[in-house]
């Protein structure tokens, strides 16, 4: 059985390295233009080269997003951009616009093309059409059920791979085809600048009664009538694998390294456990518990088992649940002293109970009993952003381990 690919988001070079170190088989990233996450830090040409090299040196893949819907004034700049990246051994380009697909093929004839979920592929005939245009993989629309995906797989050639999202934010519009942001803020969602107005609070106003706001539900403050829960499929690894998809994709190029590490690590463990013993596979609740330790909305299984209902919406709030705080990133560890050098990410104090986790490990819990500054002087707290401190660890750690504490 060929193992399914775990595909992780990389909003910048640090996140790319974290995703790979924590178990991703491949990452997807955007350049400084033409990807659908303009708010992410994204990648300069130098960062693209370094990131691709980092992935390849570890036997992983790096896919680049070029999935905007281009306007006329984008074309000349895109042509120049393709010339600047054509010698970088990027593994695949994620594209939604047919014109951009054609341009990439002309500039980089051997490029592997993945069709973005923005192209809204929902049936096997459309998938077959794109395959004839040279597309190697279809990133399926989020609106498909497992039954539909299995039928797609049966009716398509094995040479065409399928990819589907398994974790992350859901769009209230059809796989991202949304005009709300453009209309309300003049930020074009289809060019990477979505303001997420679907998460805003709304009330009903009758035409002849301006200024009188009627709640859509019993909540008098208004209601989040377009506010979807986050997709989470970690409890359904067998169904994901057996659906026939080749790649399981995590959403979140705008998320933190803490988010990327936690989500990738949990899915890595779950997927590996399934392949180790498909018939005897048992879901472990702690994997789901790990996912809940990062900033998230309440979870849903999206369209996979049927069309979503009102239970898949959150009508009370668009706020995230944040029960844990990312407090530090390990830079190095001295086995002789048991001291770890930590880059502070949020305030920590002597006496705090923290959880420590890293690649391919389970977390452990300890109290901060010894906290030193860079000159090895005892301190009571580390309140300054990216402050360098030393902490006595109860178990060995290594670079890129992370520290979190419960709020």
Q: What is the DSSP string of 41-99?
A: --B-HHHHHHHHHHHHHTT-EEEEEE-S---GGGHHHHHHHHHHHTTS--SEEEE--HH
Percent of the chain's residues with pLDDT above 90 = 71
pLDDT tens digits, 48-64: 999 999 999 999 999 99
Buried b (16+ CB within 10 A) or exposed e, 251-286: bbbebbbbbbbbbbbbbbbbbebbeeeeeeeeeeee
DSSP alpha helix (H) spans, 224-360: 237-242, 257-276, 285-291
User: CA 316, CA 5: separation in Å to the nearest integer?
Assistant: 36
Structure confidence at residue 179 as a pLDDT band (50, 70, 90): confident
Q: How far apart are the first and last CA of the chain?
A: 42
* C-alpha to C-alpha distances, 390 to 207, 339, 372, 378, 401, nearest whole angstrom: 62, 6, 5, 9, 14
Model-level pTM?
0.87
Q: Which helix (H) or strand (E) holds 5?
A: strand 5-10
User: CA 68, CA 94: separation in Å to the nearest integer?
Assistant: 10
User: CA 279, CA 48: separation in Å to the nearest integer?
Assistant: 41
* C-alpha to C-alpha distances, 310 to 122, 300, 307, 313, nearest whole angstrom: 23, 11, 10, 5
pLDDT, residue 68, reads 87
Q: List, in sequence order, every residue forming a beta bridge with 341; answer none if it has no partner.
A: 332, 390
pLDDT, residue 218, reads 46
* C-alpha to C-alpha distances, 105 to 33, 85, 93, 379, 380, nearest whole angstrom: 18, 13, 10, 58, 59
Check: CB of residue 142 under 8 Å from CB of residue 120.
no
Structure confidence at residue 199 as a pLDDT band (50, 70, 90): confident
Mean pLDDT score across all residues of the chain = 90
User: In the predicted model, what is the mean pLDDT of residues 119-135?
Assistant: 96
User: CA 220, CA 7: separation in Å to the nearest integer?
Assistant: 42
User: CA 83, CA 104: separation in Å to the nearest integer?
Assistant: 10
Pick from 98, 39, 93: nearest CA to 65: 93
User: CA 29, CA 47: separation in Å to the nearest integer?
Assistant: 11
Q: Is the pLDDT confidence value at 180 over 50?
A: yes
Check: CB of residue 163 under 8 Å from CB of residue 152.
no
Q: Is the pLDDT confidence value at 295 over 70?
A: yes
pLDDT tens digits, 377-390: 999 999 999 999 99
Q: Is the pLDDT confidence value at 230 over 90?
A: no
Half-sphere exposure of 347 (CA within 13 A, CB side): 6
Check: CB of residue 204 under 8 Å from CB of residue 223.
no
Range with the lowest mean pLDDT among 36-40, 97-101, 293-297?
36-40
Computed from CA positions of residues 280, 286, 287, 288, in that sequence, does the dihedral angle turn out positive or negative? Answer: positive
Q: Is the pLDDT confidence value at 150 over 70?
A: yes
DSSP 324: E
Check: CB of residue 353 under 8 Å from CB of residue 406.
yes
pLDDT tens digits, 301-315: 988 998 766 665 555
Q: Is the pLDDT confidence value at 271 over 70?
A: yes
Torsion of CA 11, 12, 13, 18, to 10 degrees: -40
Check: CB of residue 379 under 8 Å from CB of residue 386.
no
Q: Is residue 116 helix, strand or coil?
A: coil
Q: Which helix (H) or strand (E) holds 17?
A: helix 13-21
Nearby residues of 235 by Cβ (< 8 Å), 6 or more positions away = 283, 288
Range with the lowest mean pLDDT among 18-32, 192-206, 330-344?
192-206
- Structural domains in the chain, CATH included, are 5-174+227-306 (3.20.20.70), 324-406 (2.40.30.10)
Q: Is the pLDDT confidence value at 191 over 90?
A: no
Check: CB of residue 40 under 8 Å from CB of residue 12.
yes
Q: Is the pLDDT confidence value at 356 over 80?
A: yes
């Amino acid at each position: 059985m060929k193992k399914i690919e775990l595909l992780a988001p990389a909003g910048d070079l640090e996140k790319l390295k974290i995703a790979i170190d924590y178990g991703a088989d491949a990452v997807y990233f955007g350049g400084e233009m033409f990807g659908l996450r303009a708010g992410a830090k994204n990648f300069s040409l130098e960062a693209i080269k370094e990131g691709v090299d980092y992935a390849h040196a570890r036997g992983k893949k790096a896919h680049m997003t070029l999935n905007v819907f281009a306007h006329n004034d984008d074309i000349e700049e895109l042509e120049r951009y393709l010339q600047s990246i054509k010698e970088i051994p990027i593994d695949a380009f994620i594209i939604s616009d047919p014109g951009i697909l054609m341009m990439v093929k002309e500039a980089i004839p051997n490029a592997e093309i993945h069709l973005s979920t923005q192209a809204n592929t929902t049936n096997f005939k459309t998938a077959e059409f794109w395959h004839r245009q040279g597309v190697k993989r279809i990133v399926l629309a989020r609106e498909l059920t497992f039954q539909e995906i299995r039928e797609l797989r049966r009716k398509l050639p094995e040479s065409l791979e399928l990819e589907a999202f398994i974790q992350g934010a859901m769009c209230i519009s059809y796989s991202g085809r949304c005009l709300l942001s453009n209309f309300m803020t003049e930020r074009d969602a289809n060019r990477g600048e979505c303001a997420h107005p679907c998460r805003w609070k709304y009330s009903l106003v009758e035409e002849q009664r301006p200024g009188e706001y009627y709640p859509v539900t019993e909540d008098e403050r208004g209601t989040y009538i377009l506010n979807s829960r986050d997709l989470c499929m970690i409890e359904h690894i067998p169904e994901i694998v057996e659906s026939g998809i080749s790649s399981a994709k995590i959403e979140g190029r705008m998320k933190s390294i803490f988010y990327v590490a936690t989500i990738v690590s949990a899915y890595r463990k779950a997927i590996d456990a399934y392949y180790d013993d498909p018939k005897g596979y048992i879901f472990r609740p702690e994997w789901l518990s790990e996912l809940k330790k990062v900033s998230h909305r309440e979870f849903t299984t999206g369209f996979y088992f049927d069309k979503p209902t009102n239970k898949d919406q959150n009508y009370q709030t668009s706020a995230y649940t944040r029960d844990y705080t990312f407090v530090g990133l390990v830079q190095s560890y001295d086995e002789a002293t048991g001291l770890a050098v930590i880059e502070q990410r949020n305030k920590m104090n002597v006496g705090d109970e923290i959880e420590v986790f890293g690649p391919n490990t389970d977390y452990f819990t300890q109290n901060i009993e010894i906290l030193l500054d860079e000159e090895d002087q005892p301190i009571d707290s580390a309140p300054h952003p990216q402050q360098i401190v030393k902490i006595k660890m109860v178990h060995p750690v290594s670079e890129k381990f992370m520290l979190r504490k419960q709020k």
